[in-house]
Amino acid sequence: MNVPSPALGRSRTSSRARRAGLASFVGTTIEWYDFYIYGTASALVFGKLFFPDVSPAAGVLASFATFWVGFLARPLGGIIFGHFGDRMGRKGTLVTTLLLMGVATFLVGVLPTHARIGVAAPILLALLRAVQGIAVGGEWGGAVLMASESAPRGRASFFAMMVQQGSPAGAILATLVFLAAGTLDDAAFLAWGWRVPFLLSGLLVVVGLLIRLKVEESDDFAQVRERGDVVKLPIAEVLRTGWRVVLLGIGASVMGISAAYFTNTFVLSWTTNELHMNRQTMLYILLGLSVVQFVWQPIAALISERVGEARFMVCSLLANVVVAAPMFLMIETARPLLVFLGIALAMISGSGYYAVLAGFLARAFPSRVRYTGISLSYQLCSTLIGGTTPLVAQALLTSGGGSVWPVVAFYAVLLLLTTACVAVLARVTDRRAPQPQAAAAPAA
């Protein structure tokens, strides 16, 4: 009888891990592309096309409000798809979320504006944004688990980082497409150019589905199913025994979610409207920043494996507090190089923490309710804090008469809250680390 050698087994495991990591990266990139193009369009065109009867500043606030609708829906997506992901598996759930996001985004691209159908236009826009939120609410947690639960022993955090790479990669794609559309004159851009990024989502989704359908189920879930340890109602189990960990997970995720919307949405709107910077210039700056993040995150993940993840995250967040005021003051100059350098200061420190966040949260919950646990933590944070970031920052800027200091204070408070929750959650996770995987969900 032929017995597979250990080397062959390791090779197959490594191959499965790479396929799972690639599928998670590609799928999440497409999801974030779809999510980011909405944020970019909110800052540039939605106020003019869907809320034309109010002042430009009020139109921006109204478009940011529809942007927030997606965040309101994200916990619902986390609960729905977390339930099926913990009961039926990660793979099928992720195929569904990708398809749902693609359809909603494509429909935004063909949606009539206020000039054509009146008040129905912003209502339909908000509904499609809600569908986007439900899809991405289920996507992130499943992609993290598909990558980390299929990873070689000791590399779960690095493979989870591949999911976090989807954020800058999606931002790069979104910015490139908007840069191409932005070469049109203003009339053409407002008439049809802004729709192109949304319509291209249909093609990207087909590519993502072809890759994702070839991936096998994650190892950890397969073991849960073999043990007969599948939970009938994961959300009830998590809230009954691990609600304190969920609260800490919400706090630990604050800057991981809100930082991107400070730069890609609020800063884009602030610089192109109040500071009168050229739209194309700002898109080039955001493109460069996304490249910096994409290159830095794998390096940060490797460093964190050496120095300890919690220590690395706390140091990164505290460094971000130090550069908060210089960042906003440099942006306020409206000089392109200073704007880029200012945001890059915060990007390097903040994205280092973000690279490690996914694996850090995944370890806080046992495998049988992990999809629901991390999805609930991350997506509730997106609703309570992340999605309101551009809305609150714009309101602070407007009420402060254009002064940036209230926004600086808001940014710093979010950083300190995140730091405290990361530190406490790390201690809670360390206390339960020796317990078996199949033990009851954690209680802080």
* 437 in a structural domain: no
Contact status, residue 425 vs residue 248, Cβ threshold 8 Å: yes
Residue 8 lies in a domain: no
Residues 80 and 124: their CA atoms lie apart, in Å, by: 22
Residue 334 counted as domain residue: yes
CB 124 within 8 A of CB 61: no
Residue 219 within a domain: yes
pLDDT < 50: residue spans in the chain: 1-12, 434-444
Give the integer Cα–Cα distance in Å for 162 and 233. Answer: 29
Q: What pLDDT sits at residue 85? A: 82
Domain membership of residue 443 (yes or no) is no
Which of 373, 413, 61 lies closest to 244, judged by CA?
373
**3-state secondary structure string, 102-158?**
HHHHHHHHCCCCHHHHCCHHHHHHHHHHHHHHHHHHHHHHHHHHHHHCCCCCCCHHH
**Do the domain assignments include residue 10?**
no
Domain contains 3: no
Asked whether residue 358 is assigned to any structural domain, the reply reads yes
Domain range for 61 is 15-432
pLDDT at res. 13: 58
Q: Side-chain half-sphere of 384: how many Cα atoms within 13 Å?
A: 15
Q: How many domains does the chain have?
A: 1
CB atoms within 10 A of CB 294: 18
CA 142, CA 374: separation in Å to the nearest integer?
Answer: 9
Q: What is the CATH number of the domain that holds 405?
A: 1.20.1250.20
Task: Report residue 65 as tokens.
Answer: 């409000």
pLDDT tens digit sequence for 63-119 = 767 777 877 888 898 899 888 888 887 778 888 888 888 888 899 899 998 888 988
Smallest CA-to-CA distance from 355 within 308, 420, 302, 421 is with: 302
Q: Rounded distance, CA 84 to CA 217, Å?
A: 13
Half-sphere exposure in the Cβ direction for 17 (13 Å, CA): 21
Residue pLDDT, tens place only, 131-165: 988 988 888 888 888 888 777 777 777 888 888 89
